[in-house]
Amino acid sequence: MTERGLTAPAARGNVLARFDAILAAAVPELIGRIQAAGFDEDTGGLGVVPDVQAAGAKLRWSALKLMATANQAVPEANVRALHVLASAP
């Protein structure tokens, strides 16, 4: 891929692939309640979807800890914002 000038979005894939481990390290009580929805490398925005609004509220309170944990786990990602999307039905 690199010979042809193509690069894979490494940080995006790493953050999304490791999200469950990142969540477990930062906010273990929300394991299984939050799903990663996407990561924008340009803005550093990590989108997540809670199963219920209460889980989303808890995650908002722990946003700084989650972002710090993500940046430790995947330093090249540079997560700068957490976007808690509407709860999944």
pLDDT tens digits, 46-59? 999 999 999 999 99
Indicate whether 13 pLDDT > 90: no
Q: How many residues does the chain have?
A: 89
Return the SS3 of 60: helix
Residues 84 and 18: beta-carbon distance below 8 Å? no
With the CA atoms of 26, 83, 8 and 32 taken in that order, what torsion angle do they form, in degrees rounded to the nearest 10?
Answer: 50
The distance from CA 7 to its chain's CA centroid, rounded to whole angstroms, is: 21
Residue 3: predicted pLDDT: 54
Domains and CATH numbers, the chain: 9-84 (3.30.300)
Residue 87: predicted pLDDT: 81
**Lowest mean pLDDT, pick from 1-5, 72-76, 80-84:** 1-5
pTM to 2 decimals?
0.82
